[in-house]
Each structure stands twice: as structure tokens, then as C-alpha cells.
Amino acid sequence: MSATTFTPDTLQRLASAGLDPERLPRHVAIIMDGNGRWAQLRGLPRIEGHSRGVKSVRATIEECCRLGIEQLTLYCLSTENWKRPQDELDFLMALLHQYLLAERDEIMEENIRFTTIGRREGLPAQVLAEIDENVRLSTKNTGMTLCLAINYSGRTEMVDAVRMLAEKVNAGKLIPEDIDETTISDALYTEGMPDPDLLIRTAGEMRVSNFLLWQISYSEIWVTPKCWPDFDPATLQEALREFAQRERRFGGLNP
């Protein structure tokens, strides 16, 4: 990114954080892990960790906007999470519904373009309605793209993409010889989005947990031992400074 794309306020924020605008990632993706663990370590119900995690979501979105990040993708709910106890799932859906309503004004004030990835099947109708409304209202916004991965699975995404391409081949709209990386990328949920430059994971776990498996092929990975409720702007800035020190060769060699 060129420094000329940043406002004076953004440049000042970057400078105070020790960040070079030329070395920022365009797209940051985060696996928000450790809500339940954070609560259990404090003798609290798991749902308290999810409630506290919403504050970290809000703070992280605001900081990414202030720093001029082009896109932020947050892993909110995986398809595997449906295996959790029903009362926890009910709470998560209620929390998501509340969040979508509560943050609508902030999304518009910050000029954020809101979108989601994942399967819609299984999500409550009221959640889908608020998702659609946030997407509709923010579609012409020109600031940071906020993408929530809800009921998402990297493998499921690939299955859906393969099915779409197979249907096109079966209908005579596509021949197998024309299928390349671009064709596959365009069939994914993330069509039109840049691949993540930086993947952050909290709670110290060293795995990608079925998240954006195609898209993170060359992402830089940064892991913090902090559980998600303890993730704050200072931690985000630390990750961005570390990213700026990485040499990204994409399989080649630097001169």
C-alpha cells in the first residue's frame, strides 16, 4: 500500500505505533480462540468468555480502521462448532444477533463494508435477516471491509466450489481444461477478496482449524498465547510490527 492512500490521522496513528504504512498487510484474518478457556481460568461460565470476546471484536475492528487495514476477516463460528452444548449454541446465536444490531450504527459511521462467508443453512432466521440488512446498508461504503466467517469451514467451502464448477461443466458452460487457480478462487465464498497477508491466532494453538485453507497458502502466521478476550489494540500492533519484519518470497528467492 502507498502512504498516499492514508489520511494524515492514519499516518500519525501508524507512526505512534511504530508501523510503516508501506509494510502493512492489506488483509488480516483472525482465528479468535480461547473465549471458553479465558472464562474457565477465572471460574466463570464459558458464555462469559464469549461476552467478553465481543469487546475485543469491537476494539480490533476500530483499530484496524484507524490503521488503514483494507480488510479484516474474523472466524466467528465454524461448522464444527455445532457440536457444542445446545445452551452454549443458543447463547452464541443470541449474542451474534445482538452484535449485528448493536454495531450497525458503528459500521455506517466508520464507512465499513460488511459481508460474511459461510453456509446460511442452520443459522436462525433472525440472524440471517440482520446479516442481510447490514450487508444491504453498507454495500456502498468505501472503507475497510469487515468479513465475518459464520458457519464456515474451509473444506466445506471447497466442496461447494467443486460442486459449482461441476454444474458448470455439466451444463456445458465450462470445460475442464479451462479450470485454473483463478477459476477456483472465483468459485470460493471469498470471490473478489484479496487473500489474507497475515493470519493471527490467539490462545497459543498452532493450527489453522479449517480456516481459509485455499486463501492462506502464502499468509504469514502469527500466534499469541493471549486468549481472545485479552486481545487488544497493542497486541494487534505487535502482530503488525512482526509482519513488517517478515520476508515474503512466495516460493522464490529475494535478490
**Which amino acids are annotated catalytic?**
33, 81
Planar angle of CA 56, 58, 62, nearest 5 degrees: 115
Q: Which cell goes with 167?
A: 454444474
Cβ–Cβ under 8 Å, residues 112 and 138: yes
**Minimal CA–CA distance to 77: which of 62, 88, 64, 61?**
88
What phi, psi does 175 have (nearest 5°)?
-110, 145
Which residues have a Cβ under 8 Å from the Cβ of 151 and sit 6 or more positions away?
A: 77, 78, 79, 118, 119, 120, 121, 122, 123
Which residues have a Cβ under 8 Å from the Cβ of 120 and sit 6 or more positions away?
A: 128, 151
Rounded CA-CA distance 12/9 in Å is: 5
Cβ–Cβ under 8 Å, residues 194 and 27: yes
Please give the single-letter amino acid code of residue 240: L
- How many other C-beta atoms can be found within 10 angstroms of the C-beta atom of residue 32? 22
Cβ burial of 233 (10 Å; 0-12, 13-18, 19+) is: middle
- How many other C-beta atoms can be found within 10 angstroms of the C-beta atom of residue 62? 13
